Amino acid sequence: MQFKGAFTALVTPFSGGQIDEEAYRQLIEWQVQSGINGVVPCGTTGESATMSHEEHKRVISICVDQVKGRVPVLAGAGSNNTAEAVELTQFAKDAGADGALLITPYYNKPTQEGLYQHFKRIASEVSMPFIVYNVPGRTGVNLLPATVARLNKDIKDVIGIKEATGDLNQVSQVLEYCGPDFQVLSGDDFTVLPLLSVGGCGVISVVSNILPDKMSGMCAAWFAGDLPTAQKLHFELAPFSRMMFLETNPIPAKTSLALMGRIKLELRLPLVPMSPANAESLRAFLAGKGLI
């Protein structure tokens, strides 16, 4: 499988309103050195919604260049505008990304047929491995298992899905309909181990921004058949998952990385810094875990 294990949904460091390239490269290097299995630039966690197309493309280019083929790069390239998604996907391919992460169109609320036609159009224009991204909590639309199965059957480039419903019944249905070769990645840090147990192949993780070794270690333990270690890491990671969603992602993740001295704390509106009470809870938690 091409996309297996723990992939970090990378935050995008900013400085003075601009992309902080040096901090971004250092963050990516630390991730790779820590044993992460892959990286995802320009996802939700990367604040792609507030990037210009020029910035979006630059972030993907920096990431591909820094990784230098050591781990797969799954580039965020989705949009609620199909033509725009085609353009971003073509760029991801040209830049050397190993695959494209394509979110279901948000805000438009397309039907299941509309979702199918959206991905079909992208695939007709650009041929590269696609992981579709289903996150109804952000998009207002749920890509149903039957539609996923149809995409998998009809479009060779649709090789997997990032499933962020948090619904293990839906995940199980996707695997039932699509078979064991379909690459199902968890989009929820809370459900990684349960998802692996029904045939998933990994996670696109927020928590691994700060704990790349632990998240990749849990996946590795599962694949090695070491269930006790996988369970131990699952429960060790659980409180971190709660803390990373204390407020809207990626606010806590960026705050954590800033406290750890890896990036400057800079968010783009409409995201704002954590409330003082939550920021103090996070700081105390990280200090208690020896991360700061």
Residue from 270, 215, 239, 49 nearest 138 by CA: 49
Residue reference for tokens 């995409």: 151
State the maximum Cα–Cα separation within the chain, in Å, rounded to a whole number: 51
Cα angle 15, 102, 200; round to 5: 105
Amino acid identity, residue 217?
G
Catalytic residue among 57, 162, 214, 254: 162
Q: Are 210 and 257 in contact (CB under 8 A)?
A: yes
Q: Collect contacts of 110-113 with beta carbons under 8 A, ≥24 apart.
A: 110/141, 112/143, 112/144, 112/146, 112/147
**CA 109 to chain CA mean position, Å:** 22
Amino acid identity, residue 64?
V
Residue reference for tokens 């040209």: 94
**H or E stretch covering 242:** helix 227-244
Catalytic residue among 57, 93, 116, 133: 133
Residue from 197, 196, 214 nearest 206 by CA: 214
Residue reference for tokens 């959206």: 118
Dihedral sign for Cα atoms in the order 168, 144, 174, 76:
negative
For 65, phi then psi, to 5°, come to: -65, -40
Residue 128 to residues 118, 122, 271, Cα–Cα distance (Å): 15, 10, 32
133 is known as an active-site residue: yes
Count of residues making up the chain: 292
162 is known as an active-site residue: yes
SS3 252: helix
Query: Which residues are catalytic, by number?
Result: 133, 162
